[in-house]
Amino acid sequence: MVHDDYKEMIPAHALAALDAGDERALNEHLAGCAECHRDMAEWEETAAKLALSAKPMEPSPQVREKILNKIRAEKSPSKVLPFPSPRRTIWGAIAAVLLFGALLVSVIVLWQQNRELRRQNQFAELLTAPGSRIAELSGTNEAPGSTAKLAYDKNGRAFLIANGLPQAPEGKEYQLWYIVDNKPLPGKTFATDNSGHGRLEDQVPEAARQSAIFAITLEPAGGVRTPTGAIYLRGEL
Amino acid sequence: MLLVAQSGWTSSPVYLEALRSEQVQDNDVELLKGVASQDEAALAALYDRYRVILFGLLVRILNNREEAEDVLQEVFLQVWRRAADFDENRGRPFTWLVTLARSRGIDRLRTLAARERVAVAGAKDEAEAVSDAASDAFRSEQRGLVTNALAQLPDEQQHPLMLAYFDGLTQTEIAARLGAPLGTVKTRMRTGMMKLREMLAGKDASFGFRV
């Protein structure tokens, strides 16, 4: 449509008689056309005069009273709001702090739950992805009851979940190793909780993806380049 | 009801006052500014000035006094809340108020139609006499200008305008109602509006309102 087409639509627009599609198109045009905008104001004046063709009628006197009562009711709340007393303010502040604390705890718990769920989902996705591999690690004499599972996909993205490990002494952490041709390649370190449960997200070196022995040792916190501690868990594909 | 004889009308103080439309309009603008600053007296004055014309419009749209009174309340409550939106550079207070009332009236009409509670056809309320004789005459003059202009339009142009304005029908709905092609309805409406504008041009002095 061109400018003149829109211009011709304006009288019907002033009567609010345009169909929805025309109304939308004209409104878009009006937003950028000062001339049509001016025209619209003039046509609205003409349309409004049609109201005068209706017979003038007197509403009942109660209407005026109802309107004035309602606007008084709308005005009054802001005028009569009591000023809060100091006592109320202190209790209000305490309540607000408690409420904020509770809210904060809830947010943290939810965040942790969400993180845990996300990890579980990632682990499940990794287990079911085509080409994924799973290695089961069993405890050595250092930790006879412990077990672990290491799963990784074809790109080497790996998750390790370990259970039953003794709690690592202060300054020590467990470290994952990838042993290829008797040569240990260092993985990341992890800590365990009170129940001996630990988990780790790591990247399996390319050399270790097809065939390797996986081991977990206890090492100085932060890990080392070559193993120094005893092996706690061991397994292979 | 016309209470002032037409012969003495043109020399009456009311008529002379009507000619000072700028003054009347300025007064309306001031009232709306007062309403915008939550001046209750300004709203009451605006109501007193426009209640009769707006109520007449609403009764014409809704065909029911009770509904029209309810919508009239809504309109003035909306004026109370939205008076700050009025921009005197974009139009006259009269146009703003009438457009607001008509829009509310049509909304209510559609709601009632949707609920199948439209007032019984033919049960149209009759206009009541307006107590103030001068105001009555003044309004009659204004109404006369518009009804005369409308009467000069052929029915085929006047009818669609009435269906759009008072019944809230769109052009497609009007075409269906009249059994006429959409293009024809559009042309007739445009032509009718252009003639109206032409006939009412220069008569703006008579569209000021007074209490």
State how far residue B11 is from chain A, nearest Cα, in angstroms.
23
State how far residue A14 is from chain B, nearest Cα, in angstroms.
9
Question: Alpha-carbon distance B17 to B169, whole Å?
Answer: 37
> In the predicted model, what is the mean pLDDT of residues A170-194?
90
> In the predicted model, what is the mean pLDDT of residues B111-140?
55
Contact A55 B60 (CB under 8 A): yes
Among candidates B94, B146, B190 on the partner chain, residue whose Cβ is nearest the Cβ of A12 = B190
Judge contact between A180 and A187, C-beta under 8 A. no
**Most confident by average pLDDT, A86-100, B60-74, B111-125:** B60-74
- Six token digits for residue B126: 């009759």
Most A CBs within 10 Å, among B48, B71, B80, B167, to test the A interface? B80
What Å distances lie between residue A224 and A172, A228, B162, CA to CA? 11, 8, 90
> In this model, does residue B161 exceed pLDDT 90?
yes
pLDDT per residue as tens digits for the range A4-42: 889 999 999 999 999 999 999 998 888 888 889 889 989
The predicted structure's pLDDT at residue B123: 44
% of chain A at pLDDT higher than 70: 93
> In this model, does residue B127 exceed pLDDT 50?
no
Q: Is B132 on the interface with A (CB under 8 A)?
A: no
Residues 6 or more apart whose Cβ sits within 8 Å of residue A107: none
Reported ipTM: the value is 0.81
What Å distances lie between residue A15 and A64, B35, B70, B202, CA to CA? 28, 27, 23, 21
Among candidates B127, B190, B193 on the partner chain, residue whose Cβ is nearest the Cβ of A56 = B127
pLDDT confidence tier of residue A194, bands split at 50, 70 and 90: confident
* Degrees, nearest 5: CA angle A45-A50-A56: 120
Contacts of B55 in chain A (CB under 8 A): 56-59
State how far residue B94 is from chain A, nearest Cα, in angstroms.
8
Q: Is B124 on the interface with A (CB under 8 A)?
A: no
pLDDT confidence tier of residue A88, bands split at 50, 70 and 90: low
State how far residue B125 is from chain A, nearest Cα, in angstroms.
9
Contact B68 A59 (CB under 8 A): yes
Strand partners, A162: A148, A198
Contact B130 A56 (CB under 8 A): yes
**How many helical (H) and strand (E) elements, i.e. helices and strands, does chain A have?**
5, 8
What Å distances lie between residue A173 and A193, A199, B132, CA to CA? 11, 12, 97
**Could you tell me which of B148, B189, B40 has the C-alpha nearest to residue A47?**
B189
The predicted structure's pLDDT at residue A87: 58
> In the predicted model, what is the mean pLDDT of residues A116-132?
74
> In this model, does residue A64 exceed pLDDT 70?
yes
| DSSP code at position A53 | G
> In the predicted model, what is the mean pLDDT of residues A140-169?
88
The predicted structure's pLDDT at residue B39: 92
Strand partners, A157: A203
> In the predicted model, what is the mean pLDDT of residues B111-122?
59
- Six token digits for residue B141: 């003059």
% of chain B at pLDDT higher than 90: 58
The predicted structure's pLDDT at residue B118: 46
> In the predicted model, what is the mean pLDDT of residues B59-84?
94
pTM for this model (two decimals): 0.57
Question: Alpha-carbon distance B55 to B98, whole Å?
Answer: 10
The predicted structure's pLDDT at residue B50: 93
State how far residue B20 is from chain A, nearest Cα, in angstroms.
18
pLDDT confidence tier of residue B14, bands split at 50, 70 and 90: very low
Question: Alpha-carbon distance B159 to B110, whole Å?
Answer: 20
> In the predicted model, what is the mean pLDDT of residues B13-23?
44
Burial A118-141 (b: 16+ CB within 10 A, else e): eeeeebeebeeeeeeeebebebbe
Residue with tokens 């399996």: A204
Q: Which A residues, 46 through 65, put their C-beta within 8 Å of a C-beta on chain B?
A: 46-60, 63-64
SS3 A146: coil
More confident call, A1 vs B185? B185
> In this model, does residue A46 exceed pLDDT 90?
yes
Q: How much is the mean pLDDT over chain A?
A: 86
Q: Is B195 on the interface with A (CB under 8 A)?
A: no
Q: Is B38 on the interface with A (CB under 8 A)?
A: yes
Q: Is B148 on the interface with A (CB under 8 A)?
A: no
The predicted structure's pLDDT at residue A37: 86
% of chain A at pLDDT higher than 90: 32
Contact A17 B164 (CB under 8 A): yes
What's the number of CA atoms in the CB half-sphere (13 Å) around residue A120? 6
The predicted structure's pLDDT at residue A28: 86
**Most confident by average pLDDT, A132-136, B27-31, B102-106:** B102-106
> In this model, does residue A174 exceed pLDDT 90?
yes
| DSSP code at position A164 | S
Q: Nearest chain A Cα to B63, which residue?
A: A54
pLDDT confidence tier of residue B131, bands split at 50, 70 and 90: very low
> In this model, does residue A1 exceed pLDDT 80?
no
Residues 6 or more apart whose Cβ sits within 8 Å of residue B203: B145
Kind and range of the H or E run holding A155: none
CB contacts < 8 A (A, B): 160
Contact A50 B165 (CB under 8 A): yes
More confident call, B92 vs A115? B92
The predicted structure's pLDDT at residue A76: 63
